[in-house]
Structure formats: C-alpha cells, structure tokens
Amino acid sequence: MTTPAPLNAAAEQYVKLVLAVGQHDKNYVDAYYGPEAWAKEAEAARMSLLDIGGRAAALVKEVEDVPVPDDALLAMRRRFLLTQLNALSARVRMLSGEQLKFDEESEALYGARSPRHTEADFEAVHAELEKLIPGPGPLPERLTRFRQDFVIPKDKLDVVMRTAMEEARRRTLKFVKLPAHESFTLEFVTHKPWGGYNWFKGNATSLIQINTDLPIFISRAIDLGAHEGYPGHHVYNALLEQHLVRERGWVEFSVYPLYSPMSFIAEGSANYGIEMAFPDAADYLRDVLFPLAGLDPKRADEYSRMEELNKKLSYADNEAGRRYLDGEISRDAARDWLIRYALLSPERATQRMAFIDSNRAYIINYNAGQDLVKQYVERQAGPGATPVRKWEVFLELLSSPRLPADLR
C-alpha cells in the first residue's frame, strides 16, 4: 500500500494549520505529539485567521485533486483530511466572528446533528423515576436527595477511582494489545467546567484528571475509568498513535483538534466503551465498589436502576444547549430547563451551563456519538454477535481514520 505523495505533504500542512489555529483558541489543540519544531514554528509565526482560512481552502483543493485511492484505508485517509480541513475552516470562521445556529455548528464541526426531543420525551422518563423515588417535593429535589446516599466519601475517592480504572484496564487488555509501556497518571483537580478529562501525551501515556468541585457518585467511577481511560480516550489515542502514526507514518494523527469530527468518534466510542468494558456494571458496583466506598450494597440495585433511567435524559442537555445557543431562551432559563427536564441539581446545572458556554455544540458528541457508534458496532458485528466479535469491530473503529459519515 503506497500513499500518494501529495497526501503526505497535505497531512503535514494540515498539522501545521491545526497548530496555527491553536494560537487563537487555547482549547483547540487537545493533544499534539508531533515534531516540537512545528509547534514552535506556529507559536513564532502566529498566522492570522485570515491567512489560516486561505491556506486551508487551498489545501482542500489540493487534497480534492488527489484521485481517490483504490485501497479502502487510503481512501478513508483522503476523506479524513478533507473532513477535518472543512471543520477547521468552520472553526476559523467562528473565531473570526461568524455565528452559526446549534445544528449548523454541530454539522460544520462534527459532521453530525443531534436528533430533536420534546419535553414529553423526558417527562416519560420522569414518570418512571416517580415510581422509583416517590415522596413529597419536586422530582429534581427528590432525585438529588436520593443520590446523596451514593456519593463516594472524599477519603475513599482515590482508591475507588483507581480500582475502577485498573479493572477497566484489565478487562480491556483481554481484547486489545497496547504497547507494553502504556500508562496513565491520575490527578484530582478543581475549578473545571467538566467532570473528567484525558490529556494524551503521546508515547501511549495519558494524564487523566477528575474534577472534584461537586460530589462524585459511585457509578461515575466506572464511567470515568472507562470513558477517560480504558477502552475510552486513552486507548483510542494510543491505538491511533500505534497503528497510524508509528506504523504508517500518518502525521495528521499526531494532532487532535478538539472541535472536529474526531471528537464525535472519540466521545461516542468512549461512552459506548463503558458498556463494552462493564456489561455487568450493576453487579460490579454492588459487589466491589459499594463495599470499597463504605456504601450499603443492599441499595446498589436500587441505585443502578435509577442511574439507568437517568441516562435516558442525556439528550436534555442538547435541547437546552440548542435553545440557549440559538437565542430562544436565556442562560438562566436554560439552567432552569436542565433542572426541570435533565433533573440536575442547581449546582450541576450551573456546571453544565459553564460547559455549554465553553464548548457549545460539542455536547452532541457524547450521546449522539454514543448512539451512532453503538449502532455501527452492532450492525457490523451482526445479530447475536459474541462479545469477542463486538470487540473486534470496536477496536477496528478505534484504530482507523473512520469519521461520522463512515459509520452511517
């Protein structure tokens, strides 16, 4: 398999353009482990947004002029570069002042749109939660009180988190071969708009940070361990590095622009990875994490039923974000909407609004991304597929240049 020389040249220019955008948007370059000289060059040059946009448009034409390769993987690489460059151009326009509607933005940056949901969709879930958590007062308040019994004590947070992450790692390594030296460092931080973050450093290493601004519920140990670590972001980045950067020399994968279609795959696969690694999550919570955290295992099944129902409200984030960012409701009204329909506590609704303010339509990547990845894996694996077969399809996705359009 021989890559057309113009694609290799375009890949290098693409990386340099991503780094150039990073000089105007501190969140844009989520990870970079390519040549240090390129990063220094971008910092020194500080190319204007106008110039970046012009060069990106010219580069798109260069890649379009490359005939579609017969090899499926190379054709995917060509399509990846075009898709990422178009998203980069959209981000440059936004940084230059162009305003997009929520759906327009998600399509331009992530190559996808979130399905629409009505209040009635969420109220149907509320009705199920009402039966599980009866009593006086509004449902959001009852749910908040109920969940307080399942907060990980601060003095147990480190051991619970590390135990869940190591279990996620153990389970993932049964199906995937990672470099022998792969590793992660875990840190607890505060004053962030997110709950957890993976900072991939290259050489199959990550810094995983957990935000402790708000109390952390016991199920989040599994969610964060799998999502940020195994088989989530850490594994996704390590596999791209191993198979595409090191083995094939595709430099475009040495940089990860956050506001791009890559994030739809990254977040969607990381969320789906929770289910892949922990199909028995309720049992693992009851038998391992509840005792470790000093919580009552007899209430574990009740708690797990509540969390399973609560996950069905995830699209309420997208609806609040769409209405707020499209100017249909105020920020305060969006926060109240999250309390009413996503059943968030006032503190968590405030934190969620901070995330939406910072990342805007990025929120679709978690739920719409998860749904598309799940559908793709299950369709490719086939009806009645064994766990081994599903893992094969899942890991092939994580190791490839596939983007949202390739999963439909």
What's the pLDDT tens digit per position in 168-224? 999 999 999 999 999 999 999 999 999 999 999 999 999 999 999 999 999 999 999
168, 253: one domain: yes
Q: What is the mean pLDDT of residues 233-243?
A: 97
Q: How far out from the chain centre does Cα 110 lie?
A: 12
Whether residues 164 and 64 share a domain: the answer is: no
Looking at the structure, tell me whether residues 287 and 229 fall in a common domain.
Answer: yes
Cis-peptide, bond into residue 279, ω within 30° of zero: no
Which candidate, 352, 313, 317, 299, places its Cα nearest to that of 147?
A: 299
How would residue 343 be classed by pLDDT, with cut points 50, 70 and 90?
very high
Domain annotation covers residue 107: no
- Over residues 114-136, mean pLDDT: 94
Contact 398, 269 (CB under 8 A): yes
State pLDDT tens for residues 353-405.
Answer: 999 999 999 999 999 999 999 999 999 999 999 999 999 999 999 999 999 99
The answer to whether position 109 is within a domain reads no
Query: Which whole number is the average pLDDT over 100-128?
Result: 96
CA distances to 126, 215, 360 from 301, rounded to whole Å, are 19, 20, 35
Do 22 and 85 sit in the same domain of this protein? yes
pLDDT at 91: 98
The structure tokens listed for 216 are 């952390």
Whether residues 85 and 160 fall in one domain:
no
Domain-located, residue 113? no
Cα(15)–Cα(239) distance, integer angstroms: 19
> pTM higher than 0.75, yes or no?
yes
Mean pLDDT of 118-123: 96
Distances in Å between the Cα of 130 and the Cα atoms of 55, 125, 136, 138 are 56, 9, 11, 10
Could you tell me if 350 and 325 are in contact, meaning their C-beta atoms sit under 8 angstroms apart? Answer: no
pLDDT of residue 45: 95
Q: Is residue 91 included in any domain, yes or no?
A: yes
* Number of domains within the chain: 2
Tell me which residue of 8, 90, 348 sits closest to 211, measured CA to CA.
348
- Shared domain check, 328 and 186: yes
Residues 149 and 12 in one domain: no
Percent of the chain with pLDDT over 90: 97
> Domain for residue 105, yes or no?
no
Least Cα distance to 178 among 234, 120, 95 occurs for 234
> Is residue 109 within 8 Å of 260, Cβ to Cβ?
yes
Percent of the chain with pLDDT over 70: 99
Residues 35 and 164 in one domain: no
The per-residue pLDDT of the chain, averaged, comes to 96
How high is the pLDDT of residue 1?
61
Q: Cβ–Cβ contacts within 10 Å for residue 139, how many?
A: 16
Q: Is 112 inside a domain boundary?
A: no
Query: In this structure, is residue 396 part of a structural domain?
Result: yes
Domain membership flag for residue 139: yes
**What is the band of 5 on the pLDDT scale with cuts at 50, 70, 90?**
confident
The C-alpha atoms of residue 259 and residue 30 are separated, in whole angstroms, by 9
Average pLDDT over residues 16-39: 97
Check residue 379 and give its pLDDT. 97
Q: Side-chain half-sphere of 179: how many Cα atoms within 13 Å?
A: 20
192, 298: one domain: yes
User: Do 245 and 392 have their domain in common?
Assistant: yes
Q: Of 125, 101, 96, 95, give the one whose Cα is nearest residue 113.
A: 101
Domain that holds residue 252: 119-407
- Banded model confidence at residue 408, pLDDT cuts 50, 70, 90: confident
Average pLDDT over residues 32-55: 97
Residue 340 tokens, joined: 């009413």
380 and 263 within one domain? yes
Q: Do 124 and 91 lie in a common domain?
A: no
